[in-house]
Homo-oligomer: A and B are copies of this chain.
Amino acid sequence: MTSQPRRPQTVKVRDVARAAGVAVGTVSRVLNDRPTVTRELRERVERAMADLGYEVDVTAQSMRAGRSRLVACAIRDFDIPRFALFIKEAEAVLREAGYTLLLASTTNRPEVEISLLRAFRRRRVDGVMMTLSDEAHRDVRQALAEAPMPVLLIDRDSIEALDRVTADHRLGARLATSHLLGLGHRRIAMLVGDIKAFPSRSRLEGFREAYSAAGITPDSRLLRHNVLSSEDAYRATASLMNLADPPTALFVAAMDMLGGCLRALRTMSIDVGDGISVVAGSDSDLAELHTPPITAIEWDLAAMGRHAATMLLERMRGDEIERGRGLTVPTELIIRGSSRSLAR
């Protein structure tokens, strides 16, 4: 007998089998709802399990089965309020299907993404949903290609071999920009995140499309990218408004950056609506209840979460599906008082 890691005595299939007077295999079949068990034995086993307070060890099940019933979700940073909606819905769908959600944040760094992928495979995680900081990153792409489990990308779209769930950020940005151009604005500043990755890149494309559709060329000095925190947004806004020729409209395209922008405008005593028009890249209580209320792009993050979980479940079931399905959730523009026509 080798050593016993000290641990409270637990009831095992063996014990249940003995108590019910059956073989361990029978207990296992009862546990897994196999049809080939007579009602009488099933009942005896179930009674024994209840009497002894038996509980399966998922670890042991996972080991033999080679799957863990774990799904990992790794996103840039989960203190983005609206993102929580995505996770919440995804978790609900996964739990319903018997899976448990593992959560980790990548802090938007490729090396963390790679090391998380490794950690996930060590845990024999059955599926992964994640964002990427840089879709073109060599090592990340390699790690994704080598991942033994299905991976679904959240709001990233350039890797065709993988399933993707995205919002139509290009459309949203085009709508927002066209709206401002239609109001007479010509100097529109844009605050976006990392344009190496999908959402910001798409937003920039939408922005440029709207400009070309209007036959105008945007002033590239009014573009601020790598705006990833509220502080970044604050600084970017301040520097834009300090230009000799400041913008007449601000398109705060990155998610959840509106606060930093408004804080800067307030510090500089610039009135939203009068002094400058503002459009937010995502809706929020703040956008809705601000004075004046802020025009914003909106989409259904809860639906994204549900779709992501559902698609991943299908993939994990090994259904015969084409490689790399993309699903896009539409965006729309909610026009409010913060975007006004340019009085000349």
User: Which residues in A have some Cβ–Cβ distance to B below 8 Å?
Assistant: 5, 7-8, 55-60, 62-66, 68, 77-81, 83-85, 87-88, 91-92, 95, 100-105, 118-119, 121-124, 148, 230, 258-259, 262-263, 266, 284-286, 288-291
Contact = CB atoms under 8 A, between A and B. Distances in A.
A79 to B, nearest CB: 4
Which of A91, A103, A148, A288 has the most chain B CB within a 10 Å cutoff? A103
A105 B91 contact: yes
A122 B87 contact: no
Contact of A266 (B83, B262, B289): B289
B288 A291 contact: no
Contacts of A286: 284-286, 289
A259 B287 CA distance: 11
Contacts of A79: 81, 84-85, 88
Contacts of A119: 100
Nearest to A95: B104
Which of A80, A104, A118, A285 has the most chain B CB within a 10 Å cutoff? A285
B288 A263 contact: yes
Given A58-B124, A78-B84, A92-B105, 9 more contacts: A5-B66, A59-B59, A59-B62, A79-B84, A87-B103, A101-B103, A263-B289, A285-B286, A286-B286
Q: How many copies does the complex hold?
A: 2
A57 B66 CA distance: 10
A285 B80 CA distance: 12
A84 B79 CA distance: 5
Given A55-B121, A59-B62, A122-B55, A290 B291 contact: yes
Contacts of A124: 57-59
Contacts of A58: 122-124
B104 A101 contact: yes
Contacts of A118: 55
A262 B92 CA distance: 30
A60 B59 CA distance: 8
B81 A81 contact: yes
Nearest to A65: B5
Contacts of A266: 289
A84 B290 CA distance: 23
Contacts of A262: 285, 289
A81 B78 contact: no
A258 B58 CA distance: 42
Nearest to A94: B104
Nearest to A87: B78
Contacts of A105: 88, 91-92
18 contacts: A5-B64, A5-B65, A55-B121, A55-B122, A56-B122, A58-B122, A59-B62, A59-B124, A63-B63, A78-B88, A79-B84, A88-B105, A102-B102, A262-B285, A262-B289, A263-B288, A263-B289, A286-B289
